Each structure stands twice: as C-alpha cells, then as structure tokens.
A = this chain, B = another copy of it.
C-alpha cells in the first residue's frame, strides 16, 4: 500500500531529508528502484549504487546521506528501520473476515473481538482465541487450546494438546504445535506409548516457519519463550525449553528435554541430543552436532566442509583410525624427545 515518507519517519524515528509527502508503494534494491520504491543501504560497498539510484527514498546512516541523490531517511540502524517501514507497505491482509460459513466451531469456544476464522478451519470445544487473531484456511485448533491476541495461523496449521499461545504469534503454513512427544516404554521387544500429558506453551512475538513441529511435553510443558524465531522444518521435541529471543534456522532438530538459553543463534541443520543444556547467548554454526551440554556461551561448530570426493574418501579412511594415528604420533614424539 502507499505510504508517505512522513509515515515512515514516524515509525522509524528517523530524520527526513526530502519531501515528507512523497509516497512509496514497494521495496526494491538500489539498482532497480523507481520513484515508488523504498530502499535501504547499510554497507558502503553499495555507495556507487546509492549515488545512481532513482529510488523514491533511501533509508541510510548519517554518513551516507551526502551521497544520496533522492529523499533520504537518516537512522542509526537502516536494516531495522527498513523492516519497520516495509511492514507499513506490506501489511498483513487476511484472506477473509469474520467467521467463514464453512468454518466449524465447537461448543464453549471464546472468540475475542474481530477474530477471523477462514474457510474450512475447525475450532474444537472450549478453545479461546484473542482479539484480532486470524485463523487461516483449513487450520485445526484443538480442544482447550488458548491463542492470544493478534496471532496469525496462516493456513493448514494445527494447534492441539491444550497448548497455549501468547500474543502476536505467527505460525506459517503446515506448522504443528502440540503433537505428541516421542515417548515409549519397552515391553520385551515391543514399545508401549507413554501418554503425553503436557502442553506447549508459546510466548508472545514468536514466529514459527512452514512445516515446523513442536511437540507437547510428557508431564511438564514444552516452553518457548517470548520473541523466539524458528525457521521452516525445525523439529522441537517434548519437554524442550527455549529462552527468549533465541533464533533457530531451518531444518534444525532439537531432541527431548533440551534446555536452550536466551539470545542463542542456532544455525540451519543443527542437531542437539536429548537432555543437554545450552548457555544463554550461544551461537551454533550450520550443521553443528551438539552431543553434550555447552555450559559456556560461545561460538561452536562441527559440520565437515565439503571436499573433493576422491580426497574425502581417502581422508575418511584415515579418520576411521585417527586414534591409532594419534598413538603412533605420540610414540614418535616420545622417541623424538628422548634423542
């Protein structure tokens, strides 16, 4: 939608050099921008592009403003200001309003003001949905689930297991919250299911990406703190606890009863074994395997970078007897020292 630069200044707190009545209707990079475009620049590498841009407006830091040939909005953190400004240009637009005639509501549901329940959604008994929340097409909300205000369940989302969800939470398509944890007791060769009686408790301002899953706890709850951001196809097992503002990239798998601190950054494809603890502020690079607790905040890694296949084959044969190599080396070293 069309947004004036005055509106952008209001939401970003920036200082405008230019025409506050100018409207932008889209975002762009500096190269492809036209008078309707909003851009941002946070890296001097793009200085040449800035000088030549024909954008409607550019969000930038003070030091770059002299090089901006068009309307400039000066802020401390251009990316952050851009995120806020772009949210004005691309507001969330629900697919429908009110309760769609094909939606199914159970008994004793409590729906707040201006709740949307889209086509073919199913809300079971005693669910509570807060003001302004949007339940997208074909979503399933289980019995006794509580969903806060201004939440968005975008489509084909399932929330079950009496889970409770805070305010301003976005669940992308295919997300499943509150499915059973994976717990079985052995009976000879067979496995007997351990009923999963806990909930999922999601804080506020949580985002969970497409097809990610969060299992309910066994006895206690699975707890995800405020401001946690989870990417697509992430698996969060039962009894996991994730601290506020931790961010988890795609395809990560978090096994049962893991505790992750706040302000962590978990890379894509990371695997964390069950029952370990990860300190606040820990950073894990992509495809790291965490097999024991990381009690000191730090930057940890373990993925093996790609090698040319023939070299890799040779190296892996050696790796399989690395312990022997180390012993041989030790032997040599002790001999060497004796000399």
Given that A182-B229, A269-B253 are contacting pairs, would A289 and B303 also be in contact in the complex, using a CB cutoff of 8 Å? yes
* Smallest CB gap from A218: residue in B: B27
Interface centre among A185, A247, A336 (most CB of B within 10 A): A185
Tell me the nearest residue of chain B to A174, going by C-beta: B176
> Could you give, for residues 104-143 of chain A, a 1 whenever the CB lies within 8 Å of some chain B CB and a 0 otherwise?
1010000000000011101010000000000011101011
Query: How many copies of this kind of chain does the complex include?
Result: 3
From B138, B174, B229, give the contact of A191 (CB < 8 A): B229
| Chain A: number of interface residues, binned into ranges | 35 or more
Query: Which residues from chain B contact A289 at a C-beta distance below 8 Å?
Result: 269, 286-287, 303-306
Shortest C-beta distance, A38 to chain B (Å), equals 10
Query: A189-B263, A194-B79, A213-B232 are known contacts. Are A174 and B172 too (CB-CB below 8 A)?
Result: no
Given A192-B80, A335-B336, check contact A301 B312 (CB 8 Å).
Answer: yes
Q: Mark A180-203, 1 if CB is under 8 A from B, else 0.
A: 101011110111111101000000
Give the residues in chain B near A253, CB-CB below 8 Å: 233, 250-251, 268-269
Q: Which 4 A-B pairs have the closest CB atoms?
A: A314-B323, A251-B253, A179-B210, A289-B303
